[in-house]
Structure 1
Amino acid sequence: MTEPAPTLDPAIAARLKRNADGLVAAVVQQQGTGEVLMMAWMDDEALARTLATRQGTYFSRSRGRLWVKGETSGHTQAVVEVRLDCDGDTILLVVDQTGPACHTGTRTCFDEAVLLEAQV
Protein backbone atom coordinates (compact mmCIF):
# COMPACT_ATOMS: atom_id res chain seq x y z
CA MET A 1 0.00 0.00 0.00
CA THR A 2 1.40 3.41 -1.01
CA GLU A 3 1.63 6.09 1.64
CA PRO A 4 -0.23 9.32 0.86
CA ALA A 5 1.91 12.21 -0.32
CA PRO A 6 2.80 14.67 2.43
CA THR A 7 1.11 18.03 2.16
CA LEU A 8 2.94 21.30 2.38
CA ASP A 9 2.26 23.38 5.47
CA PRO A 10 -0.20 26.10 4.36
CA ALA A 11 1.94 28.80 6.02
CA ILE A 12 4.93 27.75 3.88
CA ALA A 13 2.79 27.40 0.74
CA ALA A 14 1.45 30.93 1.23
CA ARG A 15 5.00 32.35 1.22
CA LEU A 16 6.04 30.71 -2.08
CA LYS A 17 6.11 32.73 -5.28
CA ARG A 18 5.85 30.13 -8.02
CA ASN A 19 6.53 30.63 -11.72
CA ALA A 20 3.79 30.15 -14.34
CA ASP A 21 4.32 26.37 -14.15
CA GLY A 22 3.82 26.32 -10.37
CA LEU A 23 7.51 25.78 -9.68
CA VAL A 24 10.10 27.39 -7.42
CA ALA A 25 13.85 27.41 -8.07
CA ALA A 26 15.92 25.32 -5.65
CA VAL A 27 19.63 25.97 -5.22
CA VAL A 28 21.54 23.10 -3.63
CA GLN A 29 24.65 23.77 -1.56
CA GLN A 30 27.12 21.38 0.13
CA GLN A 31 27.07 21.49 3.92
CA GLY A 32 30.30 22.75 5.42
CA THR A 33 31.94 24.05 2.24
CA GLY A 34 29.13 26.18 0.80
CA GLU A 35 29.92 24.78 -2.66
CA VAL A 36 26.95 25.24 -5.00
CA LEU A 37 26.17 21.79 -6.39
CA MET A 38 23.14 22.22 -8.62
CA MET A 39 19.92 24.04 -9.32
CA ALA A 40 16.60 22.25 -9.77
CA TRP A 41 12.88 22.96 -9.63
CA MET A 42 10.38 22.13 -6.90
CA ASP A 43 6.62 22.10 -6.80
CA ASP A 44 4.67 22.01 -3.53
CA GLU A 45 4.76 18.21 -3.37
CA ALA A 46 8.52 18.06 -3.97
CA LEU A 47 9.11 20.56 -1.17
CA ALA A 48 6.72 18.74 1.15
CA ARG A 49 8.46 15.40 0.45
CA THR A 50 11.89 16.97 0.97
CA LEU A 51 10.83 18.41 4.32
CA ALA A 52 9.22 15.13 5.39
CA THR A 53 11.97 12.74 4.27
CA ARG A 54 15.13 14.90 4.32
CA GLN A 55 15.96 13.56 0.84
CA GLY A 56 16.39 16.00 -2.05
CA THR A 57 13.17 15.66 -4.08
CA TYR A 58 12.58 17.76 -7.19
CA PHE A 59 10.22 18.22 -10.11
CA SER A 60 11.65 17.26 -13.48
CA ARG A 61 10.30 19.55 -16.18
CA SER A 62 11.52 17.22 -18.95
CA ARG A 63 9.96 14.11 -17.41
CA GLY A 64 6.93 15.89 -15.97
CA ARG A 65 7.24 14.13 -12.62
CA LEU A 66 8.92 14.14 -9.24
CA TRP A 67 12.34 12.57 -8.77
CA VAL A 68 14.46 11.88 -5.73
CA LYS A 69 18.13 12.74 -6.19
CA GLY A 70 20.04 9.48 -6.41
CA GLU A 71 17.05 7.21 -7.09
CA THR A 72 18.83 5.74 -10.10
CA SER A 73 22.46 6.86 -9.66
CA GLY A 74 22.86 6.25 -5.94
CA HIS A 75 24.28 9.79 -5.61
CA THR A 76 21.97 10.90 -2.83
CA GLN A 77 21.40 14.13 -0.97
CA ALA A 78 20.79 14.06 2.77
CA VAL A 79 19.05 17.39 3.39
CA VAL A 80 20.44 19.16 6.44
CA GLU A 81 18.68 22.52 6.17
CA VAL A 82 16.06 24.21 3.98
CA ARG A 83 15.66 27.99 3.72
CA LEU A 84 13.33 30.24 1.76
CA ASP A 85 14.69 33.50 0.39
CA CYS A 86 13.21 36.90 1.28
CA ASP A 87 11.10 37.05 -1.92
CA GLY A 88 9.74 33.50 -1.58
CA ASP A 89 10.87 32.58 -5.09
CA THR A 90 14.00 30.56 -4.34
CA ILE A 91 14.65 27.71 -1.94
CA LEU A 92 18.12 26.93 -0.59
CA LEU A 93 18.85 23.33 0.34
CA VAL A 94 21.98 22.60 2.36
CA VAL A 95 22.85 18.95 1.84
CA ASP A 96 25.38 16.25 2.47
CA GLN A 97 25.96 15.05 -1.08
CA THR A 98 27.06 11.46 -1.72
CA GLY A 99 28.90 11.15 -5.03
CA PRO A 100 28.59 13.58 -7.93
CA ALA A 101 25.67 16.01 -7.88
CA CYS A 102 25.57 16.55 -11.64
CA HIS A 103 23.94 14.09 -14.02
CA THR A 104 27.11 14.33 -16.16
CA GLY A 105 29.13 12.74 -13.36
CA THR A 106 30.92 15.87 -12.13
CA ARG A 107 30.92 17.03 -8.52
CA THR A 108 28.80 20.09 -9.33
CA CYS A 109 26.76 21.29 -12.27
CA PHE A 110 28.94 24.42 -12.36
CA ASP A 111 32.31 22.87 -13.26
CA GLU A 112 32.49 23.43 -17.01
CA ALA A 113 31.50 26.84 -18.33
CA VAL A 114 33.37 29.50 -16.37
CA LEU A 115 32.23 32.80 -17.83
CA LEU A 116 34.26 35.08 -15.55
CA GLU A 117 36.99 34.12 -13.13
CA ALA A 118 38.03 35.91 -9.97
CA GLN A 119 41.00 38.21 -10.34
CA VAL A 120 43.88 37.57 -8.01
Structure 2
Amino acid sequence: MSDDWLDAIKWDAHGLVPAIAQETATGTILMMAWMNRESLRLTRETGHAVYWSRSRGRLWHKGEESGHQQVVHALRIDCDADVVLMEVEQKGGIACHTGRHNCFYRELDAEGRWVEIAPVLKDPNAIYKKT
Protein backbone atom coordinates (compact mmCIF):
# COMPACT_ATOMS: atom_id res chain seq x y z
CA MET A 1 0.00 0.00 0.00
CA SER A 2 1.44 3.34 -1.05
CA ASP A 3 1.82 6.25 1.39
CA ASP A 4 1.20 8.86 -1.34
CA TRP A 5 -1.98 9.95 0.44
CA LEU A 6 0.22 11.39 3.21
CA ASP A 7 1.78 13.81 0.72
CA ALA A 8 -1.56 15.64 0.44
CA ILE A 9 -1.23 16.81 4.07
CA LYS A 10 0.25 20.25 4.72
CA TRP A 11 2.57 19.46 7.60
CA ASP A 12 3.84 22.32 9.75
CA ALA A 13 7.53 23.24 10.13
CA HIS A 14 7.88 20.47 12.75
CA GLY A 15 6.28 17.84 10.50
CA LEU A 16 3.03 17.89 12.48
CA VAL A 17 -0.64 18.42 11.74
CA PRO A 18 -3.45 19.08 14.26
CA ALA A 19 -5.87 16.17 14.57
CA ILE A 20 -9.37 16.46 15.98
CA ALA A 21 -11.13 13.40 17.38
CA GLN A 22 -14.91 13.58 16.98
CA GLU A 23 -17.22 10.98 18.45
CA THR A 24 -19.03 9.17 15.64
CA ALA A 25 -22.24 8.48 17.56
CA THR A 26 -22.79 11.97 19.00
CA GLY A 27 -20.70 14.40 16.95
CA THR A 28 -19.02 15.59 20.16
CA ILE A 29 -15.48 16.93 19.73
CA LEU A 30 -13.49 14.82 22.16
CA MET A 31 -9.98 16.20 21.86
CA MET A 32 -7.28 17.71 19.71
CA ALA A 33 -3.76 16.34 19.48
CA TRP A 34 -0.88 16.31 17.01
CA MET A 35 0.06 13.75 14.38
CA ASN A 36 3.15 13.23 12.28
CA ARG A 37 3.41 11.10 9.14
CA GLU A 38 4.16 7.94 11.10
CA SER A 39 1.29 8.37 13.57
CA LEU A 40 -1.21 9.09 10.79
CA ARG A 41 0.06 6.10 8.79
CA LEU A 42 -0.23 3.85 11.86
CA THR A 43 -3.71 5.19 12.60
CA ARG A 44 -4.84 4.15 9.14
CA GLU A 45 -3.10 0.77 9.33
CA THR A 46 -4.32 -0.20 12.81
CA GLY A 47 -7.72 1.51 12.89
CA HIS A 48 -6.83 3.01 16.28
CA ALA A 49 -5.78 6.60 16.96
CA VAL A 50 -2.03 7.12 17.23
CA TYR A 51 -0.75 10.61 17.96
CA TRP A 52 2.62 12.32 18.25
CA SER A 53 3.20 13.43 21.83
CA ARG A 54 5.17 16.67 21.79
CA SER A 55 5.78 16.49 25.55
CA ARG A 56 7.05 12.88 25.42
CA GLY A 57 8.76 13.25 22.03
CA ARG A 58 7.35 9.93 20.81
CA LEU A 59 4.37 8.18 19.29
CA TRP A 60 1.40 7.93 21.62
CA HIS A 61 -1.11 5.16 21.06
CA LYS A 62 -4.30 6.63 22.55
CA GLY A 63 -5.29 4.46 25.48
CA GLU A 64 -1.90 2.76 25.83
CA GLU A 65 -1.93 3.40 29.57
CA SER A 66 -5.59 4.15 30.33
CA GLY A 67 -7.19 1.59 28.03
CA HIS A 68 -9.38 4.37 26.58
CA GLN A 69 -8.61 3.69 22.93
CA GLN A 70 -10.16 5.47 19.98
CA VAL A 71 -11.39 3.20 17.19
CA VAL A 72 -11.21 5.22 13.98
CA HIS A 73 -14.21 5.01 11.65
CA ALA A 74 -13.19 7.73 9.16
CA LEU A 75 -10.25 10.00 8.39
CA ARG A 76 -10.87 13.38 6.77
CA ILE A 77 -8.86 16.50 6.00
CA ASP A 78 -10.13 20.06 5.79
CA CYS A 79 -10.21 22.22 2.66
CA ASP A 80 -6.64 23.47 3.23
CA ALA A 81 -5.36 19.95 4.03
CA ASP A 82 -3.81 21.28 7.26
CA VAL A 83 -6.16 19.69 9.81
CA VAL A 84 -7.14 16.04 10.21
CA LEU A 85 -10.59 15.09 11.48
CA MET A 86 -11.08 11.58 12.81
CA GLU A 87 -14.48 10.10 13.48
CA VAL A 88 -13.90 7.76 16.41
CA GLU A 89 -15.58 5.43 18.83
CA GLN A 90 -14.23 6.32 22.28
CA LYS A 91 -13.64 3.15 24.29
CA GLY A 92 -14.43 3.50 27.99
CA GLY A 93 -16.24 6.82 27.46
CA ILE A 94 -13.25 8.89 28.61
CA ALA A 95 -11.05 10.82 26.16
CA CYS A 96 -9.47 13.38 28.51
CA HIS A 97 -6.58 12.73 30.88
CA THR A 98 -8.62 14.61 33.52
CA GLY A 99 -11.08 11.69 33.59
CA ARG A 100 -13.77 13.50 31.61
CA HIS A 101 -15.62 12.42 28.48
CA ASN A 102 -13.90 15.12 26.41
CA CYS A 103 -11.18 17.73 26.77
CA PHE A 104 -13.47 20.72 26.14
CA TYR A 105 -15.04 20.84 29.59
CA ARG A 106 -14.54 24.55 30.35
CA GLU A 107 -16.85 27.23 29.00
CA LEU A 108 -16.51 31.01 29.15
CA ASP A 109 -19.40 32.46 31.14
CA ALA A 110 -20.99 35.92 30.88
CA GLU A 111 -18.61 37.30 33.53
CA GLY A 112 -15.51 36.21 31.59
CA ARG A 113 -14.68 33.20 33.78
CA TRP A 114 -13.86 29.70 32.61
CA VAL A 115 -16.41 27.39 34.25
CA GLU A 116 -16.17 23.60 34.34
CA ILE A 117 -19.32 22.25 32.69
CA ALA A 118 -18.59 18.51 32.61
CA PRO A 119 -18.02 16.13 35.49
CA VAL A 120 -15.00 13.95 36.15
CA LEU A 121 -16.19 10.44 35.29
CA LYS A 122 -13.20 8.67 36.82
CA ASP A 123 -10.40 9.92 39.03
CA PRO A 124 -7.25 10.27 36.89
CA ASN A 125 -5.21 8.73 39.73
CA ALA A 126 -7.25 5.55 39.26
CA ILE A 127 -6.68 5.62 35.49
CA TYR A 128 -2.96 6.32 35.20
CA LYS A 129 0.00 4.63 36.81
CA LYS A 130 2.07 6.68 39.18
CA THR A 131 5.76 6.77 38.33
Q: TM-score range by the shorter chain?
A: 0.7 to 0.9
- Residue 36 of structure 2 is aligned to residue 49 of structure 1: no
Q: How does 1:74-85 map to 2 (within 5 A)?
A: 74-85=67-78
Q: C-alpha separation between the residues in 2 aligned to 1:105 and 1:86?
A: 33
Per the TM alignment, residue 59 of structure 1 is displaced from its structure 2 partner at its CA by 0.1
The answer to which structure, 1 or 2, has the higher relative contact order (CA under 8 A, 6+ apart) is 1
Per the TM alignment, residue 98 of structure 1 is displaced from its structure 2 partner at its CA by 1.1
The 3-state SS of whatever aligns with 2:40 is helix
The equivalent of 1:4 in structure 2 is: none
Q: How does 1:1-120 map to 2 (within 5 A)?
A: 9-10=3-4, 12-99=5-92, 100-111=94-105, 113-115=106-108
TM-score with structure 1 length normalisation? Answer: 0.86
Poorly superposed stretches of 4+, deviation over 3 Å: none
Give ranges in structure 1 of 5+ residues lacking alignment. 1-6
The equivalent of 2:125 in structure 1 is: none
TM-score with structure 2 length normalisation? Answer: 0.79
Instruction: State percent identity of aligned pairs.
Output: 50
Q: What's the RMSD between the two structures over aligned residues? A: 1.5
